[in-house]
Amino acid sequence: MNGRGDDTMTLLRGNAHLVDFFTSFDWWRTQPRNDLVQAPAMCLAETGEVYAVYLPQPRRVKVTLDGPLSYRARWFNPRTGQWTRLADAAGPVWESPEPPGEGDWALLLTTYDWTTREWKSYFNHDGLQYNNNQWAGEKGSLRVRFGPPTASWWTTHNGNRPDFPVSAPWVGVGSDWGNLSSNSPLPIKLSELEVLKASLSATVPRGKPNQMFKVYWQLYFSDKPDGKFNRGEFAPTVYGVNIPSNHWGTVLGSTVVDGRQWRFADQGFSSGMGRFIIPMLEPQLAPDANGVVEIRDVDIKALIDWCIAEGFYRAEDYCMVILAGWEVWVQDDNLRMNDMAFTIKQKGKPAVTIPAWTTLMTKQP
Amino acid sequence: MKDPGFDLRRFNVAYWQRFERMLAYARQKGMVVSVIPFIAAQVLVTPYAAYSEEEKLYYRYMVARLAPYSNVTWDLGNEHDLHWKAPDWADYMGPLVKQWDPYDHLTSVHNRIYRSPGNPWNDMQLIQRWDPGAQKDFFLEQRKQQAASGRIIPLINEEYGYEDLWEKKPGDRNADSRRRCAWEICMAGAYQTTGETANRGTGFPLTPAAAG
């Protein structure tokens, strides 16, 4: 293309390394966070997930990391494209060693090694619940993602809380919570909600003693479209094993929706989060021969309406988040979310289904 | 040259076929091509008038022919506002291209800042800004302004200089300096495209030596 047009032109070779670096993590989910490093270093981060640091000069850099988590750390040579593994990095402030040579350098700190497609050592499970750094799918401007694991999951796997081995990952859509889908149709005022249906398919563990787990949807309500989730949590639950009887709370009543019976339990008010109500499917789903539980087009709106009629929630409250989640109280066990979908329609607007059914399975690494 | 004697109602099919081969090859290499049907600032041959039927025919044909390639984006007119006394032209052509393109490729125009909600055809912001050290603060500021405007679209530095071109001193615009530019752009949350100059063939003389 250039007047020279020969192999002495090397810019594209250099830019190919740039592409390799950026495609080794979900660059589109990061934001410039130069406040986490010292100039002239530059940082892109999705805090708690990935930190990409560029050093125009070969100097050590301190990176402020999120929480007590550990990250896989690697040098990247922008001039050659070579990766060099470092010892794992840990917060709250991690200082890099001296760069391996002259020139500019990059660092990548991740919770997951996208180059080798391997989980770190504490990801000793398979199943989608641990793919917490991926998009589950996209449709239009709506985004659905696997959410980050809860703090309890991390503390468990960091060995700090062996007495409380809970993992509670989830997938969901919603307003701005946990970096969920900021362009989703949520929040929607409950009185404006015309359709809210949910489907899920999960493969559940079986056969071990002391297993405890549940599969559910969870919705969070607020009194303002931009407020905190102070008006309640709502968790229609379709499957559970060995859940203690006091887990569900006080029985409020029951209703039948589309031929399915739901019993409502009240866990009361949690601090700052409003009333926590759990509609339980009765009977709960039965796993098939492959351990799969599946249910489609559950009319979540009808369940919400029952609660509004009973005075537990208000029509003027807003639904901020809806997610499909599961909790497993036993380590070294797998519960896979095979698929999920929500159909959401606000009055006067077209219905949206997110994601398309089967999206999750096709997005596995 | 205002009138090179082109027949504006007959397309040079061999030219378009060559363009398609280039797009297919780029696609094989995982490269996206910014298709620029018109460059104003370099006073290349532009034998049709703004808003003319011939112009519309040209753009319509280009979109119909090239849109099936997944690796194209549309840059409607490079520096369209510098030499063309048609200030609203992009707001005329942008919606037409969006309407014609069944695949909804990213569409924009170089190099004026369009980001208001009134320019919905503009899917990304094409920017020209040269040299290392000039990228980070500029693009971080652009991100702020976008956030304030309520319309957040990809920021793309479409021209940050060319390898070895127009150096103020030897080496200051070599491949390594351009590569550092690219890193700086990406680390500021923006994108970049890479181009090379055409010093021969259909290109225009870039330097006195080349012109000679």
Residue A150, min C-alpha distance to chain B (Å): 28
How confident is the model at residue A85, as a pLDDT?
A: 85
Q: Which residues pair with B134 in a beta bridge?
A: none
Average pLDDT by consecutive 10-residue portion of chain B (212 residues)? Answer: 74 94 92 90 76 94 96 92 82 96 94 86 93 89 93 93 86 92 97 75 48 37
Cα–Cα distances in angstroms (integers) from residue A55 to residues A59, A78, B75, in the given order:
7, 10, 32
The strand pair at A89-90 and A70-76 is best described as antiparallel
Spell out the residues 6+ positions from residue B150 whose beta carbon is closer than 8 angstroms to its own. Answer: B117
Helix intervals (H) in A217-344: 300-309
Q: How many CB atoms lie within 10 A of CB B168?
A: 7
How confident is the model at residue A141, as a pLDDT?
A: 18
Residues carrying CATH 3.20.20.80, chain B: 1-118
Evaluated on CA atoms B171, B173, B179, B181, the torsion sign reads positive
pLDDT above 90: percentage of residues in chain A: 37
Nearest-by-Cβ selection for B186 from A3, A11, A18? A18
Regarding pTM above 0.95, the answer is no
| Half-sphere exposure of residue A142: CA atoms within 13 angstroms, side-chain side | 20
- What gap in Å lies between CA B149 and CA B133, rounded to an integer? 26
User: Would you identify the CATH topology of the domain A124-362?
Assistant: Jelly Rolls (2.60.120)
Enter the CATH code of domain A11-113: 2.60.40
Most A CBs within 10 A among B179, B184, B204, hence the mutation to make, goes to B179
Class of domain B1-118: alpha beta
- What gap in Å lies between CA B94 and CA B125, rounded to an integer? 13
How confident is the model at residue A75, as a pLDDT?
A: 95
Q: Give the B-side interface with A, CB within 8 Å.
A: 30, 132, 136, 140, 143, 162-164, 175-176, 178-180, 182-184, 186-189, 194-200, 203, 206, 210
Which parts of chain A have pLDDT scores under 50?
A: 1-2, 68, 113-172, 174-183, 329-333, 358-365
How confident is the model at residue A6, as a pLDDT?
A: 66
Nearest-by-Cβ selection for A56 from B162, B180, B196? B180
Residues of A in contact with B178 (CB under 8 A): 11, 14
Tell me the angle at which helices B53-66 and B89-100 cross, rounded to the nearest 10 degrees. Answer: 40
Most A CBs within 10 A among B152, B163, B167, hence the mutation to make, goes to B163
Residues of B in contact with A12 (CB under 8 A): 194
- What gap in Å lies between CA A54 and CA A33, rounded to an integer? 12
Residue A15, min C-alpha distance to chain B (Å): 6
The strand pair at A274-282 and A232-234 is best described as parallel
A289 touches chain B (CB under 8 A): no
Residue ranges per domain, chain A?
A: 11-113, 124-362
A3 touches chain B (CB under 8 A): yes
Cα–Cα distances in angstroms (integers) from residue B145 to residues A61, A108, B128, B141, in the given order:
29, 28, 17, 6
- What gap in Å lies between CA A222 and CA A232, rounded to an integer? 7
Are the CB atoms for B134 and B182 separated by under 8 Å? no
Q: Residue B174 burial by CB count (10 A; 0-12/13-18/19+): exposed, middle or buried?
A: middle
* A211-247 residue pLDDT tens: 567 788 888 899 988 777 788 989 999 998 877 667 7
DSSP conformation class of A251: E
C-alpha B104, offset from chain centre? 17
